A and B are shown apart, each in its own frame.
Chain A
Amino acid sequence: MKGFTLWFTGLSGSGKSTLSQAIEPVLLERALKVEILDGDVVRTNLSKGLGFSKEDRDTNVRRIGFVANMLSRNGVVAMTAAISPYKEIRDEIRAHTETFVEVYTECSIEELTRRDPKGLYKKALSGEIKNFTGISDPYEAPENAEIVVNTERETLEESLEKIVRSLELMGLIPAGEDNHTSPAEEVVIRERLQALGYL
């Protein structure tokens, strides 16, 4: 299989890292090479020293895009999980990447404020944190993302299934071999076998 870049974009806490980590074992099971470029992790090494000005944010996202492209053109599924708030930069990276799949993790500010596991939204709303995306800095939602998951309405499993199925349908990952016959299927199979006189 060819590599590709699976670019998650969405507000802080919307599920980018969670989903990318959930997808990783699915792809590994299907014999794909996988790397996750998580926004928080990248900032501690590849982008160490960069701040949160627009310029620094753009530089951070461009660096992630550069590395993701290098990985994906060498057969790796490169998953990125950075907020990547600006459409212009995402489109610039898309233009330079052979196979770019954008995944928008949609979630309302109200829900994110309610979740707020790190207390960041609370601090941003109180003004303690400046330039916080979605509160005091813009987030430009993608208009034509290949995949949109709504982590407010969908469970993690539903969002995961949607992404994996979409990648299968795009022919980017091999189809999974789900060999299990569910109890509900067994009920139908029993009925059919009975109808033909086998049970």
Chain B
Amino acid sequence: MTSRQRLCVVGLDGVPIGLLERLANEGVMPNIAARIEAGHLRSMRASLPEISSVSWTSFMTGVQPGEHGIFGFTDIDPGTYEFTFPNFAQVETPTLWDRLGQHGLTSVVLNQPATYPARTIPGVLVSGFVAVDLSRSVKPLRWLGSLRRQDYRVDIDTARSRGDHDWLFKDLDYTLQARGAALGRLWDEVAWDYLQVVVTGTDRLYHYLWDAVENVDHPRHQQAMDYHRAVDRFVGQVWDRFASENTEPDKRFWMLSDHGFCGINQEVQVNAWLREHRYLAIDDGGRDLGGIRPESRAFALDPGRLHIHQRGRYARGSVAPEQTAALKTEIADEFRSLRYHDEPVIRDVHDAADLYHGPCADSGPDLVLVAHPGFDLKASPTATEIFSRTDLVGMHTWDDAFLLAPYPIDDEELWIGEVAGHLERGFGN
């Protein structure tokens, strides 16, 4: 039994509260059912846009995108209009682990998305998606050797798994086992106060086989359930060890997801809509949005981040700053009326000025579209059809992430960025 006042957090990437409750109730996830019984499960809102990198960064910093500066997996170079890929170095606000370190507390953080390349924290950080090179995913570096010897994997091979679902399940199992082995070693060898591990295989499974999770008649349904059983065992092992080593473990064990999920009815190509409505014109040949023409008034980045092509902000921008507000209103109104076979597509159009505040707010989008469940917003620069389908079957949702807390949190609009404060208070900070 340790004398430290430890705190343990398990993240399940992309798991919606409804699915978690159902699988717990149906006996697929008995360990999680026990934790729900002992704790307080509630829904939680993701950051907008509802992308893992945005939402997890809000979780780890406790602030919203206007302050932490991460608005998506991609940004755009305002000179070349090519995509750039924001990384952890651009998160200039301190993390929860930095703040705990100021009080002499040590963190072990395993597979935290949006922390690549890893930077030094007071403890050990092993980055999650989109980590590329393991040697740049681990701080301090002295843990690299043991992770390599354990054949640790940051993620499944998504490119192969998308088209080869036999491989997907094999890779999901292997990655989860490797994660467990790495966690065990860090748990053994680091004198930690705060430990956090994120399971990201859930998100991958839902992108490729959400229908198999939902539909009992799907040929892969049992495999999907078996993976959830494996995740449940993983959580059970973390809990059992935590409970055996700590007093009052129920008061110090948290679980959460970063967003929810649902099935896709249609993919909605926002840039194709902007083209069709003459807000956007792109010449062939440029990379990404490199062929954008000066007369373009707006463009979108994934998923529904809409940028006004403003003069002074973008090299070929032509919209005068004083015209921006009216243009935002015009486009927002048009998107609100977008229908697919009489079904409304867009649930909300947020003016970024209302949504974001802080020193990075100006680097974000001007409008953020939130779709109704089933309409998956995309921003391919080359797509010509507004509505289409690919082999992807699952999409992120905004307001049905879950939080399993040791005590009830009375906040109807609880948002993932608020969790960090609760965790810090768990140490009396």
Contacts and interface: CB of A to CB of B under 8 A. Distances in A.
Interface of A: 165, 168-169, 171, 174-175, 177-179, 181, 185-186, 188-199
Nearest to B288: A199
A178 B83 contact: no
Nearest to A188: B132
A25 B302 CA distance: 41
A171 B140 CA distance: 8
Contact of B74 (A171, A185, A198): A198
30 contacts: A168-B142, A171-B142, A175-B120, A175-B140, A177-B119, A179-B88, A179-B89, A179-B117, A185-B133, A186-B85, A189-B85, A189-B132, A190-B83, A192-B130, A192-B155, A192-B159, A193-B74, A193-B130, A195-B161, A195-B162, A196-B392, A197-B207, A197-B376, A197-B378, A197-B392, A198-B51, A198-B73, A198-B74, A198-B303, A199-B302
Nearest to A194: B159
A193 B378 CA distance: 12
Nearest to B161: A195
For A171, A177, A197, the residue with the greatest tally of chain B CB atoms inside 10 Å of its CB is A197
Contact of B132 (A178, A179, A185, A197): A185
Interface string B156-188: 001101100000000000000000000000000
A42 B262 CA distance: 72
Contacts of A190: 83, 85
Given A195-B161, A198-B302, 6 more contacts: A169-B141, A169-B145, A175-B141, A185-B133, A190-B83, A199-B302
B81 interface: no
Contacts of B73: 189, 193, 198
A194 to B, nearest CB: 8
B390 interface: yes
A195 B159 contact: yes
B380 interface: yes
Contacts of A185: 132-133
Nearest to B85: A189
B74 A178 contact: no
A165 B85 contact: no
A169 B145 CA distance: 10
Contacts of B129: 192
B96 to A, nearest CB: 19
Nearest to B130: A189
Interface in B78-98: 83, 85, 87-89
Contacts of B145: 169
Nearest to B155: A192
B92 to A, nearest CB: 11
Contacts of B119: 177, 179
B347 interface: no
B45 interface: no
Contact of A199 (B120, B133, B380, B392): B380
A174 B162 contact: no
Contacts of B74: 193, 198-199
A197 B390 contact: yes
B136 interface: yes
B252 interface: no
Contacts of A188: 132
B259 interface: no
A89 B117 CA distance: 43
Interface string B140-159: 11100100000000010011
A196 B141 contact: no
B139 interface: yes
Nearest to A178: B117
Contacts of B207: 196-197
Contacts of B204: 196
Which 9 interchain pairs have the tightest Cβ spacing? A179-B89, A195-B158, A195-B159, A185-B132, A197-B392, A188-B132, A189-B130, A189-B85, A168-B141
Interface centre among A169, A178, A192, A195 (most CB of B within 10 A): A195
A190 B303 CA distance: 15
Given A179-B87, A188-B132, A189-B132, A196 B139 contact: no
Interface in B364-419: 376, 378, 380, 390, 392
B211 to A, nearest CB: 15
B159 A169 contact: no
A195 B142 CA distance: 32
A171 B144 CA distance: 13
A32 to B, nearest CB: 14
Contact of A181 (B87, B140, B267): B87
Interface in B87-138: 87-89, 117, 119-120, 129-130, 132-133, 136
Interface string B175-214: 0000000000000000000000000000010010000000
A139 B51 CA distance: 61
Contact of B83 (A168, A177, A199): A199
B161 to A, nearest CB: 8
A87 B230 CA distance: 57
A168 B85 contact: no
A181 to B, nearest CB: 5
Interface in B254-296: 267
